[in-house]
Amino acid sequence: MTFEYAPALESRAIVSIAPSYGLFINGEFVDPTSGTMFKTINPATEEVLAEISEANQSDVNAAVNSARRAFERTWSVMSGRDRAKYLFRIARLLQERAREFAVLETLDNGKPIRESRDIDVPLAAAHFFYYAGWADKLEHAGLGPNPQALGVAGQIIPWNFPLLMLAWKIAPALACGNTVVLKPAETTSLTALLFAEVCQQADLPPGVVNIITGAGDTGQMIVEHDGINKIAFTGSTDVGKSIQRALAGTNKKLTLELGGKAANIIFDDAPIDQAVEGIVDGIFFNQGHVCCAGSRLLLQESIAEETIEALKRRLQTLRLGDPLDKNTDIGAINSREQLNKIHQLIKSGDDEGAERWTAPCEIPEKGWWCAPTVFTNVTAAHRIAREEIFGPVLSVLTFRTADEAVEKANNTPFGLSAGIWTEKGSRILWMANQLRAGVIWANTFNRFDPTSPFGGYKESGFGREGGIQGLGAYLQSATDSDVHAKGMS
Ligand code: NAP
Ligand code: MG
């Protein structure tokens, strides 16, 4: 017998979206000097939500100048204890306004409300709480006796976790005494602009946080601006490389969080039902728009067939549709452009001879959607085994021995994350030592915690965000301060 869930729609009445938004510079919303606006769209309905300002060079200059003034006059001279008070206040406001943020994130991004409500927003608040706790204890972080802020940080973030990526960037920067100019992704600016309101509500001194919106060109202006001391970028490997080239030979510090193609490795002694849940979380969470997604499933040959059957059964129960419905598991793809990219890679899988299975979902008429897709008979040479798809598409490979699993898992230009499923603790430790990945999960996947550092190897970037390590990215290292002290910088 099959039965249907009754719709359980989250109300959008809690959110009021303005028809248009200015840039948040020096504590106020101002019109862009360009006068140019672009639209942000709800990817589940294709409805225009609001008009967003495009920042040009003179807006970027104003934002950087405002951040510089705030750094010199207020934020860097304030005690860590006082900075902490502001950060705690922001964290509490994010909790108080959690429902508003969750609904707005779901409207602008397309992700299921269950995820924005239970993961994105609580984790964003947790980041502010965690780094608020560090603001007056920096001398105990193991980074020298009197660690100093870098100055003005330029921060550029992608569209997959808009508010959460903002929190990963802003919380540690502010805790360490830096001021920031942040640019959200073009398709998902709304929660960053609501966060600007939270900064006002928290009475954060003007200029400590500046949020400027726009496309890649605006991002590039931030990267190239002389008044910036550090760039923190999360996004694609191609743009990351171009930023690294632009910064070569300058004094600006850089951290890059880029793409991934993680292996999720299941051994024959793993609890298969739990592993299936981990596979689903690994690649279908957030429609697969996750840099550390477990997009390559490596199954030990003896359990491959049984696991694929169990996985397909489980995928038939996933519900795709209205992201505001609390029963929804799979939301909308954030943009038509991203959907096209996913379709192109799915087609390459077909063309190169992999075997495709697609979950039987009804696709809504409006909006951008992609049903959960699993490719079997995949070889390491296929594009779907090598390139980041950034969508709900899983490529399944098999292995016989642990050595072969390691070799296959590491056979990628990326190195962001990996998953290991086995009952044997010794095997987990051995595997973790062999895998070239920044984050390794054992018998779980896609778990995040502000106390734990996150970051990659190879083309997944460098630098760590989260944890004590995340402080290091926003403080002068001992050698930098020596250089400063000797006036050699
Ligand atoms: P993207 O195209 O690289 O964009 C990222 C951000 O950079 C956006 O704000 C974008 O603005 C801006 N940008 C574009 N061109 C730029 C340029 N030349 N100079 C400076 N900024 C520029 O990446 P995306 O497609 O939005 O995001 C998906 C990628 O992010 C995936 O590859 C994913 O793996 C990666 N990601 C990595 C992590 C991690 O922690 N490692 C986390 C999440 C996502 P516009 O939006 O206006 O183009
Ligand atoms: Mg949008």
Distance from C-alpha of 212 to C-alpha of 155, rounded to nearest angstrom: 10
pLDDT band at residue 5 under the 50/70/90 scheme: confident
Q: Which atom from ligand 1 is nearest to the alpha carbon of 184?
A: 9
Residues bordering ligand 2, an ion, CB closer than 5 Å? 40-41, 108, 187
Which residue's CA is the nearest one to ligand 1's atom 15? 216
> Which of 290, 456, 306, 268 has its CA nearest to residue 388?
290
Q: Which atom from ligand 1 is nearest to the alpha carbon of 456?
A: 41
Joined tokens for residue 482: 């020596």
Choosing from 10, 100, 105, 257, which is the catalytic residue? 257
Q: Rounded mean pLDDT of 111-121?
A: 98
Query: What is residue 367's DSSP assignment?
Result: S
How far is the centre of ligand 2, averaged over its atoms, from the C-alpha of 24 (Å)?
19
pLDDT (0 to 100) of residue 489: 33
pLDDT for residue 246 is more than 50: yes
pLDDT digits (tens, 9 = 90+) for 411-464: 999 999 999 999 999 999 999 999 999 999 999 999 999 999 999 999 999 999
Residues lining ligand 1, Cβ inside 6 A: 156-160, 183, 185-186, 215-216, 219-220, 223, 234-236, 239, 242-243, 257-260, 291, 388, 390, 416, 456, 461
CB 353 within 8 A of CB 395: no
pLDDT for residue 486 is more than 50: no
Query: Mapping DSSP to helix (H, G, I), strand (E, B) and coil, where does residue 81 land?
Result: helix
pLDDT band at residue 477 under the 50/70/90 scheme: confident
Q: Is 257 a catalytic residue?
A: yes
In the chain, where are the structural domains located?
12-258+460-480, 263-442
pLDDT (0 to 100) of residue 488: 36
Bridge partners (DSSP) listed for residue 138: none
Bridge partners (DSSP) listed for residue 155: 182, 232
CA atoms within 13 Å, Cβ hemisphere of 425? 0
Virtual torsion, Cα 392, 397, 402, 407, nearest 10 deg: -90
| CATH code reported for the domain at 263-442 | 3.40.309.10
Burial of 275 (0-12, 13-18, 19+ CB in 10 A): buried
> Which of 457, 453, 452 has its CA nearest to residue 410?
457
How far is the centre of ligand 1, averaged over its atoms, from the C-alpha of 158 (Å)?
4
pLDDT digits (tens, 9 = 90+) for 92-114: 999 999 999 999 999 999 999 99
pLDDT (0 to 100) of residue 480: 56
Q: Where are the alpha helices (DSSP H) in 285-323?
A: 301-315
pLDDT (0 to 100) of residue 219: 98
Domains 12-258+460-480 and 263-442 share a fold: no
Which string of b and e fits 178-189 if b means at least 16 CB within 10 Å?
bbbbbbbbbbbb
Instruction: Please give the share of the chain, as a percent, with pLDDT higher than 70.
Output: 97
How far is the centre of ligand 2, averaged over its atoms, from the C-alpha of 107 (Å)?
7
Integer angstrom CA distances of residue 391 from 71, 108, 245, 288, 289: 40, 17, 28, 4, 5
Ligand 1 probe mutation, 224, 254, 291, most atoms within 8 A of CB: 291
CATH class belonging to 12-258+460-480: alpha beta
Choosing from 176, 291, 361, 370, which is the catalytic residue? 291
pLDDT for residue 472 is more than 80: yes
Please report which ligand is nearest the Cα atom of 188: 2
User: Residue 481 CA to chain centroid, in angstroms?
Assistant: 31
Distance from C-alpha of 436 to C-alpha of 32, rounded to nearest angstrom: 44
How far is the centre of ligand 2, averaged over its atoms, from the C-alpha of 464 (Å)?
28
How far is the centre of ligand 1, averaged over its atoms, from the C-alpha of 185 (Å)?
7
pLDDT digits (tens, 9 = 90+) for 167-200: 999 999 999 999 999 999 999 999 999 999 999 9
> Which strands sit side by side in the sheet containing 37-42, from one edge to the other?
20-21, 47-53, 37-42
By DSSP bridging, strand 373-376 and strand 355-358 are: antiparallel
Q: Which atom from ligand 1 is nearest to the alpha carbon of 237?
A: 32
pLDDT band at residue 327 under the 50/70/90 scheme: very high
Q: Rounded mean pLDDT of 360-385?
A: 97
Ligand 1 probe mutation, 161, 239, 286, 414, most atoms within 8 A of CB: 239
CA atoms within 13 Å, Cβ hemisphere of 356? 18
Please report which ligand is nearest the Cα atom of 50: 2
User: Residue 291 CA to chain centroid, in angstroms?
Assistant: 7
Task: Name which residue leads in pLDDT, 1 or 307.
Answer: 307
pLDDT (0 to 100) of residue 4: 79
pLDDT (0 to 100) of residue 478: 62
CB 156 within 8 A of CB 234: yes
Q: 55 Cβ partners below 8 Å, 6+ apart?
A: 23, 32, 34, 63, 183, 212, 213, 214, 218, 221
pLDDT (0 to 100) of residue 484: 43
Write down how long the chain is: 489
pTM: 0.96
Distance from C-alpha of 223 to C-alpha of 14, rounded to nearest angstrom: 36
> Which of 246, 235, 226 has its CA nearest to residue 57?
226
Q: Rounded mean pLDDT of 345-362?
A: 97
Distance from C-alpha of 236 to C-alpha of 234, rounded to nearest angstrom: 7
CB 150 within 8 A of CB 253: yes
Distance from C-alpha of 312 to C-alpha of 412, rounded to nearest angstrom: 26
CB 12 within 8 A of CB 106: no
pLDDT (0 to 100) of residue 487: 38
CB 285 within 8 A of CB 384: no
Measured CA angle at 303 (ends 302, 306), to 5 deg: 130
pLDDT for residue 479 is more than 90: no
Which residue's CA is the nearest one to ligand 1's atom 40? 257
How far is the centre of ligand 2, averaged over its atoms, from the C-alpha of 56 (Å)?
21
pLDDT for residue 485 is more than 70: no
Q: Rounded mean pLDDT of 263-282?
A: 98
Ligand 1 probe mutation, 120, 155, 157, 236, most atoms within 8 A of CB: 236
Which residue's CA is the nearest one to ligand 1's atom 21? 219
Average pLDDT, the chain: 96
Joined tokens for residue 260: 């991934």
> Where do we find the tokens 């951040």?
67
How far is the centre of ligand 2, averaged over its atoms, from the C-alpha of 240 (Å)?
23
